[in-house]
Each structure stands twice: as C-alpha cells, then as structure tokens.
Structure 1
Amino acid sequence: MTATTIGRRGLLATGTTLAASGIIRPPEARAAQQLNLVLESEVVILDPYMTTAAITRTFGFHVFDTLFAMDGQGRIQPQMVESHTVSADRLTWNFSLRPGLKFHDGTPVTATDVVASLNRWMPRDALGRMLREAHASLTTKGTLGFELVLKRPFPLVLDVLGKPNAPVPFILPERLAKTPGDQRITEIIGSGPFRFLPDQWRPGNVMVLEKFADYVPRSEPPDFLAGGKRVKVDSIALRVMPDQATGATALLANEIDYQQYVPFDWIPRLERSRDIKLLSLGGLHQFQGNFRLNHAAPPFDDPAVRRVLWKLVDQSTVLQAIGIPEKFRAPQCPSFWMCDAPYSTTAGAEIANFSIEEAKADLARTAYAGQPVQFLEVSGSISQTAAHVLIQNMKAAGFTVDEQQMDWGTVLARRARHDGWSMFAVYSNGVDMLTPLTHFYVASTCADYPGWSCDERIPALTRDFANAETLEERLRLTAEIQRLAYELTPSVMWGQFTIPAAYRTSLVGLMESSFPIFWNVEKA
C-alpha cells in the first residue's frame, strides 16, 4: 500500500535544512555510480513479512530474493530455483536451488533457509495460508533441494511462491527466519542484488543500498521481477523529501535521478525539460484507491453504518479534486478487481449510487449515535485530498468526523491497533488488487489483518477460486465474492488512476514498471 509523502519529523530530527541544494549533497560530491532516488515514502518497516506496505516490498525486492518471480506478461518464472518437478498426481513437488547463491553475510543459501523462511511467511499471507492448509509437509532434500508434499492438488503452488504481492515470500537466513512471526527480525540480511548498509541509514534523511558483489544473476534478460538482475551502479540512495514538489525541484536541479511519484501540477513543467522523461503506465499498472475501514471498533463494527459510505463516494469527483489529469485516470470503476482487467465485474455494485440525501436517510435508520469517526490522514498526500472529499460528504450525511493528520509510517503503526482509528485513505498497485486471492482487503477476510473484516463465506469462496480449473468458474466466483464484499464493505474504492514517475535522461536501462526497479540501470 502506498502513501505519497513523508512528514518533517525525520528531517528535523537529523537537523537537515531545506536550503538550496542543501537537502542532499550537490551533484559534484556524489559518488559517480550512485543513484539518488525519491520513492513514494520512507522505508520504516524493514522486515518484509510484517507489512503489506508497498515501500517495504520495494525495499525487499532489492535486498532479498524469491524462489520464483513474475515476468512482464504475468507469468511465473524460476528465480532462485534452478529446476523443479511435480508428480503425476500433482501432490509431490521437488525443487532445487541454483548453486552459488549467498546471503549478504557471506553464508551460502541452503534449502534449510528456504523451509524456515516459508514456514515463517505462510501464516502471515492470505495465499501463504492457503498453501499451508493444502500442504502435508515441507522438508529439505540435501543442501539445495526441498520437497513440498500436498494433501490435495493445489493448482497455485508456483503462483504462490512467485507472487509479487506483499508480503512477498522472500528468503531469509534460517537464523532470522526463526524469529517469531509476531516479532520483527533484528538484522536485515538477504541474498538480493543490493545489501542494506545499517551504518549509513539516517531515518528521515537517507537509506543506502550497496551493490552485492557476490550476487549471482540469472542468465536470462531482465523481465519485470524475473530474469537476470545485474547491478550496474555502486549503490542507490533512497532520499527522504518533505513533499513531492521538493522532490520535483531536486529532479530538475539534477540533485536526484528519479522520483517515483511526481505532483500532477508539475507534469507540464517536467514535460518541457529535455533532461527529464516521464514514465506513465496504464491498465494493470494503474493504482486503486481505497478507504479502509476498521470493523473492530465503533462505528464501523456495524455493517449498516459501513454500507452508507457506498453512497458518499463519487470517484470522478475525488480524482478531479486530487488534480489527476483525465488521461491518467479511469472512469468510475465499480470493480474490486480493477477495471480493464481479467476479472473486472459490476456484481453487487448497484448499492454504490452516489447520493448524499439517500446516505443521510440510510444513516438515520442505523444505530449510529454520533460516535466520532477517527479518520487517519497522510499529511500532504493525494490520499489526504481523497479523504477530505469524503469527509465533507460524511459530515453532510450526519457523521461526526475526527480528522487526524500524520505521516504514513505513523498510519502503519496506528492501524495495527484494534482501536484508536476508524478508517484511512490509501492507494495500492493494481497488480495487488487483481483477484480475490491478492486484493488486500478481500484476501484478508477473517484473518488477523488491520481492519479485521470478516464474512466466513468469502474465505470459502476464495478457496474455491484457488482450486478452480477453468476461467469460466473463476469468473463466476469473482462475481459472487464481490457481491459479498459489497455487503461486508471491507473498503470503499475511491478511484483507479496512474501517477507518472520521472527520471533524468542520463539513466539508461530503467524498466517500465509500476514497481521501482533499479537493477540493470546505469548512468550514461
């Protein structure tokens, strides 16, 4: 999940000032092969299993590695795995790791690390829990081999092991993977193409990832998250900026090389610069905005109160208020699984007709008694603008709203509590929201996941979807699951859109992806 900005907390804590060229070192002082990047937000949670935050996933794909990975066509390809076989009855899967893989502390990657990592990861992920439920055993077979035995056929084995959705099944050293699932790992040791430098981490200012000299890339060409990850720079520095406009200024001044999200009102200025390119993606690489609701505390523990919100969100108004140009947004989209996507459907959406007057009447018929809606807002972000549009409508319908502004890291901490919050606005990569198996707020139904929404019928239908053998059956199930999701209201969508990234033309080899990827990139 994403937010766009970081507050001033970290910058003030490090004594950084916002004088001209003073946010970061001037260009002439930079290492020749260091990329200076401004991503969607600061990385505040480093344990890749502990959050679904997109920024942690971005960090994870650079520092850790996966057994399988998705290519640009959505196909799952081997990554750390060299080969695998499956028995005729589809119950026994054997895998062999590529030889020569190492962790950043110099120890070899073994099957023991894989088994420990998957055992820690599976309980924390919706798809992982499905795999755990279907499996009978997961054991090592020598140093580089491991075997997965199923109790019943599970068609999605490779899709689960190679899924790009957070939390991603990254492989950790066994000693770290043995950390209890409710505790964060105390060291950041992966086997990915970059290694984390803790001594150069300045929270609120900069994080440095250094090229891992012993990384063994695959021989295939790079293809989204799959293929050969060849690092062509010495390091990447993840810079923290107080807002997007400051980042865009730094990009034009050649103080940074890449900005993941640029302000929409800066697009014309950036387009006029011959030294800047914009990267704008559509379709599955767009984003879905959601208002996530907390079902564990009043007033949204009441389903009737939750459903009132469907009549208070007009996606076109929200996206227009944010300032998203028409060419970067989709029309009103009623589908939990994205529009212009394989499983797009309108099932259940008839209750989502915008009408403040009808919402006011519906709310009056509920047991709502004026309890404050504690609305967490990410200060300065586009999601805050989306929140302001909804809040205005909520107040007009009769809700009492307590607006609480904070940075995204604080939202992540607050949402982990069962009380003290009612809702927040957020947006997510479309790749994460395409099916009932991956959609953050549907896939986590009846799981221990912030928001704690539950309708026992949804997990049962989701399991049926995972085991479905035909596209026709999957389409039927996605429609049925969406009908139930509209009733349950785990979240309310506020729009589908894209945010262009911007980068200096001196960068060569940057892949076109909604995930920021910096292997195979170099400076001309």
Structure 2
Amino acid sequence: MARRSLGRWLALLLLGGIGLAPSAPRAQTLTAVLEAEVVTLDPHFTTAYISRTFGYMVFDTLFGMDRSGTPRPQMVESWTTSPDGLTWRFTLREGLLWHDGTPVTAADCVASLRRWAPRSALGARLLAATASIEANDARSFTLTLKESYGLVLETLGTAASPGPFMLPERLARTPGTERITEIIGSGPFMYRREDHRPGDRMLLRRNPRYNSRPEPNDLFAGGKPVRIEALELRVVPDGLTAANAIQAGEVDYMQYAPFDLLPRLERDRRVRVLGFTGLDTFTGHYRTNAATGPFSDPAIRRVLLRLVDQAEVMAAFGLSSQYQRTCPAIFVCGGPYETAVGSEVARDPSIEAARAALRATSYNGEPVIVMVANDLEAARISSEVLANRMRQAGFNVDMQVMDWASLLARRTRRDGWHVFGVHAIGIDLQSPITNPFVAFTCSGIPASGYHCNERLTALFDAFTKAPDQAARMRLIEEMQRLIYSEVITLPWGQFAQPALHRANLRNLVPSAIPVFWNVEK
C-alpha cells in the first residue's frame, strides 16, 4: 500500500496535481506553455503581450476584432450614431454577468473605458476627442464627441495592447497607475488566487455563467464557447523542454515552437505545427536613434536603405519559405494598410551601393553602436546581420551584446546607442496609431528613438478624423514616404512564429494571440 501510494504521489506530481486547488479532470484540462509567465494580471496596467493573452481569457470587450481586422459587437447588442457622428449610444446585451454572479452594467463599462483609454494609444486619441461618456441606465451609455473622430468602433474593438477589457466599476475606479488587486471579469474563463502558483502554473476554470454570442467564432469576435473544463498555464522557460513535453503528451499547446526544432516537429505525427499569416505574423524593424552621433544625420541613416537586405535576414533565421517573407510595408503585409509606396530605394540592397552612399555623406568613421539582445532569437539574429553588413559598407561598428531588459533600459538614453533589431506582432503594427515604431514621433518618449517629424504627427491626427478607408489609405501612403525618407524605422522582414499543439486538439482557433475558446480535446 505504501509503495502504491508513493507511486500515485509521483504520478500526480508529474501531471501537475500538487500545489493547486482540486482541478478539473485531466481529460478536460488543456495544458499550455505560453511565451512567458503571466505576471501582471491587471489587463490595463501593461502593454506586455502575455497580459493581453490573459486578458482575453478572463475579461471581455465591447467589440471584438474579426480576422479581417473589422470590429464586431461583442458585449454590445446594438448602437446608434447621430447624423453628425458626434453622439454614439451603445446598448449592452442582456444576461451579461461578472464572475461573482453580479450583472454587468453600463456604469461598469464607462468606468472601464475611462481607466483604459489614457493607457492606450488609440484610447488616448478617442479620449482627447470626447466631450463626455455617461451611463444612461443599467444597459446603455452615451459617448459624446467634441470633434470628429473616425475610429470609434475600431478603438473600442482594438486588439492592440493593452486591450479595452471591461472590469466591474469598483475595480475600474482603481487608478491606472495602480494594479487592481482582485481579478474578476466576465470572460470565458475564471481566475482564482488559490489556483495560481507563481513561477510554476496557473489554472483558469471554465466560466459556467459565460454568455457567449450565438454567431460562429471569428477570432476575437462572435461566439466564444468553452468546450474544456480548465486551462492550465505552465511556466516552462526552456523551449526544448516544452517541445519534448508536447511530444511526450504532457503538454497540449506551445505558443512558440523553437525555429531550429521545426523540421523535426513537422515530421512527428503526434503533433501539429501551426503557422500564421497576415496580422498574426511578426514584422521585424531596425529602430534608429536620431538624437546622437552619426545617426542624427538623416543622410547617414538613409545609407541603411541601400544596405538592409530582408532576404538575407530571413535566410539567417533558417526558416522555410512558408514561415517568412520580405515585406516593405511599414504597417505590415496582409493588413488593411499594406502598401509599398516610398520603399523604392530600399528594394535593391547592395553593399557597393551602400558604400558609395556612405562616402557621399559627412560620415567620418565615428563609432556606430548596434545593440544586440542575446536572449531574443529574432532580435539577436537581425542585429548581427545588420552589424556585419554595416562593417562591409564602411561603418565603424561597435556591436554591444546585452539582454533585452538591459537593451530597453539603454534605449531610454539619448546617447549610448544608434540602432537595434526588434520585432512586433502585426495586430499592433497594422495601424499608425498603435504601431510603436512610429506612433511616438515628436513625443520625447524613448520608444520614438527621439525622432520628430511634425508633418507625420499632423498625418496621424488626420488619420483619426478620416471619414473612410480610402481617405485613410491616402494618408498611409504619405506617412510611409516620410518614414522611409527619414529612416525612422526600417523593416527587415515578416515571419511567423509557429505554435505547436497535440494532434488530438480539435477546432483550435488559429491565432498568434493564443485563445482557448472553441477548442476541444
């Protein structure tokens, strides 16, 4: 008996049953390894992608973005707009409940929008155009604008981080600079503190009160039926360990499959490699610093236009063609604002042409610091490729290697760096208002690289007031010409970071932001 008890204890330990509150049956629990541990549970507090993923599981939104990028009603049942476009009245669906069983009210949503908006690029734009936002009754509220704003629904349904997630009013009154201390949403999964072991795992249980929409699911829009009893998020920092766990059947889903293991994983019939396209792919950029040294001269920055070879960067990743592509669009290929306008000079990279262009500038051999993040594979490879090509073109390159946290800290300085490689997901990059590589120009915020082009900021303002897609597209083209001309940022390629899952999962929503409604095990 003692020996059988010890064996049972070891089995429970391997399956993760020790240390959490009693869980759902293992057969109905989906175990996932995400990009990182969920540390910040407040969905408004941070732009971290992992907190956005947690947000979609536990909270809900007024509108949800479908796969085409169109906002669709989610918590909202209906809305009306005045002829002048300045007054918007929204009515919530009946039967929406918080996880504690209390009804969702319009006052909750108004308080949530007021807390979220200042912390979001799009939300802040909407807030600046707003005269008032007030609850009318338990299920409806009115947004009154003081000036034209053409992206009301796009803002309320944005998937950019941080997302416009709804909270109970008593929690939404917490200042945005402080984290909420109680995690209660109205989304498809429920969080309980006793189910969370920081540094190890978190168990999210199916919300039995969730009022799913009746129409079929379309990414963050439509119905979100939960067909599993629980979602277990395990912390497994090592990619090889997580991939081996999936192959062994100990884990069901892995958000980022290691690039170097893809050929082996694609041959394993027990698992499926899930590639992505369009807004679910990542686009890499070289971020430049306009505040100091030789790169304060736009002519010297423009040498990069003749130097950066997207095909060479992508080849250095070792990815097959199905997972990568070259892309000149600042606002991503496969998105609503894809265009090649302005990129003409960057289409035929050449070391010789770059060398000649550099000789024609005022460059006098000053050191150019290329920062390399050694703990992010794509950022490291892209920066190393750039540093090598810059040396060949005649730059005096000082390649400084550090971890990503140190790189971000260095980036806040006006000096001590000139360029580095980074990447972000298309969902955030698709709009000039949410694209962090260009949105902060003239702001003085370190993320801007201390660039300032007043014409570009005027185009951003015009974009939010444009009446339709055609007008916005004309503005996008002018923006892109300016961005390329000033080399505010420069794309180095677009790629998918494939996910990995067990072959027995059915109806998994294909999304680079992992969501676990609809899936069956």
For the superposition of Structure 1 and Structure 2, which TM-score range results when normalised by the shorter chain? 0.7 to 0.9
**Shift in Å, 1:340:** 4.6
Greater mean alpha carbon deviation, residues 446-455 or residues 140-149: 446-455
The amino acid across from 1:506 in the alignment is: N
- Normalising by structure 1, we get a TM-score of 0.85
Provide the residue aligned with 1:3 in structure 2. none
Indicate how the Cα distance of structure 1 residues 340 and 86 shifts in structure 2: closer, same or farther if over 3 A, else same.
closer
The amino acid across from 2:44 in the alignment is: Y
Provide the residue aligned with 2:4 in structure 1. none
How far, CA to CA, are the matches of 1:287 and 1:145 in structure 2? 38
- Is the counterpart of residue 25 in structure 1 residue 21 in structure 2? no
Paired residues of 2:374 and 2:401 also in contact (CA < 8 A): no
Greater mean alpha carbon deviation, residues 260-269 or residues 66-75: 260-269
Paired residues of 1:252 and 1:276 also in contact (CA < 8 A): yes
Provide the residue aligned with 1:72 in structure 2. 67
Deviation string 1:212-267 (CA, Å, 9 cap, x unpaired) is: 33322222222211122222223222223333222221111111101122123323
How far, CA to CA, are the matches of 1:297 and 1:181 in structure 2? 34
Amino-acid identity (%): 47
- Which of 307, 327, 333 aligns to 1:333? It is 327
**Shift in Å, 1:79:** 0.8
How far, CA to CA, are the matches of 2:272 and 2:52 in structure 1? 25
Q: How many residues align?
A: 500
Provide the residue aligned with 1:282 in structure 2. 277
- Which of 501, 504, 511 aligns to 1:503? It is 501
Indicate how the Cα distance of structure 1 residues 319 and 130 shifts in structure 2: closer, same or farther if over 3 A, else same.
same
Indicate how the Cα distance of structure 1 residues 131 and 495 shifts in structure 2: closer, same or farther if over 3 A, else same.
same
Provide the residue aligned with 2:337 in structure 1. 343
The amino acid across from 2:251 in the alignment is: I
Paired residues of 1:40 and 1:260 also in contact (CA < 8 A): yes
Provide the residue aligned with 1:458 in structure 2. 456
**Shift in Å, 1:117:** 1.9
**Shift in Å, 1:393:** 3.0
Indicate how the Cα distance of structure 1 residues 309 and 51 shifts in structure 2: closer, same or farther if over 3 A, else same.
farther
**Shift in Å, 1:404:** 0.6
Provide the residue aligned with 2:7 in structure 1. none
The amino acid across from 1:345 in the alignment is: T
Which ranges of structure 1 fall in alignment gaps of 5 or more residues?
1-20
Secondary structure at the aligned position of 1:116 is classed as helix
Q: How does 1:417-456 map to 2 (within 5 A)?
A: 424-447=420-443, 449-452=445-448, 453-456=451-454
Secondary structure at the aligned position of 2:186 is classed as coil
How far, CA to CA, are the matches of 1:510 and 1:325 in structure 2? 23
Q: How does 1:32-71 map to 2 (within 5 A)?
A: 32-71=27-66
Paired residues of 1:243 and 1:380 also in contact (CA < 8 A): no
**Shift in Å, 1:427:** 2.3
Indicate how the Cα distance of structure 1 residues 444 and 103 shifts in structure 2: closer, same or farther if over 3 A, else same.
farther
Indicate how the Cα distance of structure 1 residues 338 and 115 shifts in structure 2: closer, same or farther if over 3 A, else same.
same
Deviation string 1:413-472 (CA, Å, 9 cap, x unpaired) is: 776777776655332222332232332322333347541343222222122223333444
Greater mean alpha carbon deviation, residues 460-469 or residues 221-230: 460-469
The amino acid across from 2:79 in the alignment is: H
Deviation string 1:325-380 (CA, Å, 9 cap, x unpaired) is: 122221x3221022354432223224435344555666674578746636251515
Provide the residue aligned with 2:516 in structure 1. 518
Greater mean alpha carbon deviation, residues 208-217 or residues 359-368: 359-368
Paired residues of 2:302 and 2:485 also in contact (CA < 8 A): yes
How far, CA to CA, are the matches of 1:323 and 1:245 in structure 2? 17
Greater mean alpha carbon deviation, residues 368-377 or residues 227-236: 368-377
Paired residues of 2:371 and 2:407 also in contact (CA < 8 A): no
- Normalising by structure 2, we get a TM-score of 0.85
How far, CA to CA, are the matches of 1:419 and 1:118 in structure 2? 37
Greater mean alpha carbon deviation, residues 417-426 or residues 245-254: 417-426
Paired residues of 2:368 and 2:396 also in contact (CA < 8 A): no
Secondary structure at the aligned position of 2:35 is classed as coil
Provide the residue aligned with 2:84 in structure 1. 89
How far, CA to CA, are the matches of 1:121 and 1:303 in structure 2? 36
How far, CA to CA, are the matches of 1:362 and 1:246 in structure 2? 47
The amino acid across from 1:349 in the alignment is: S
- Which of 118, 124, 132 aligns to 1:123? It is 118
**Shift in Å, 1:514:** 2.8
The amino acid across from 1:522 in the alignment is: E
How far, CA to CA, are the matches of 1:424 and 1:227 in structure 2? 39
How far, CA to CA, are the matches of 2:120 and 2:485 in structure 1? 24
How far, CA to CA, are the matches of 1:66 and 1:418 in structure 2? 38
Kindly report the root-mean-square deviation, in angstroms, between the aligned alpha carbons of the 2 structures. 3.2
Indicate how the Cα distance of structure 1 residues 451 and 171 shifts in structure 2: closer, same or farther if over 3 A, else same.
same
Indicate how the Cα distance of structure 1 residues 90 and 419 shifts in structure 2: closer, same or farther if over 3 A, else same.
same
**Shift in Å, 1:486:** 1.7
**Shift in Å, 1:40:** 2.5
The amino acid across from 1:81 in the alignment is: V
Q: How does 1:293-304 map to 2 (within 5 A)?
A: 293=288, 303-304=298-299
Provide the residue aligned with 1:13 in structure 2. none
Paired residues of 1:338 and 1:433 also in contact (CA < 8 A): yes
Greater mean alpha carbon deviation, residues 135-144 or residues 460-469: 460-469
Q: How does 1:215-254 map to 2 (within 5 A)?
A: 215-254=210-249
Secondary structure at the aligned position of 2:147 is classed as coil
Secondary structure at the aligned position of 1:146 is classed as strand
Provide the residue aligned with 2:22 in structure 1. none
Paired residues of 1:363 and 1:398 also in contact (CA < 8 A): no
How far, CA to CA, are the matches of 1:255 and 1:504 in structure 2? 10
Indicate how the Cα distance of structure 1 residues 361 and 404 shifts in structure 2: closer, same or farther if over 3 A, else same.
farther
Which ranges of structure 2 fall in alignment gaps of 5 or more residues?
1-9, 19-24
Secondary structure at the aligned position of 1:32 is classed as helix
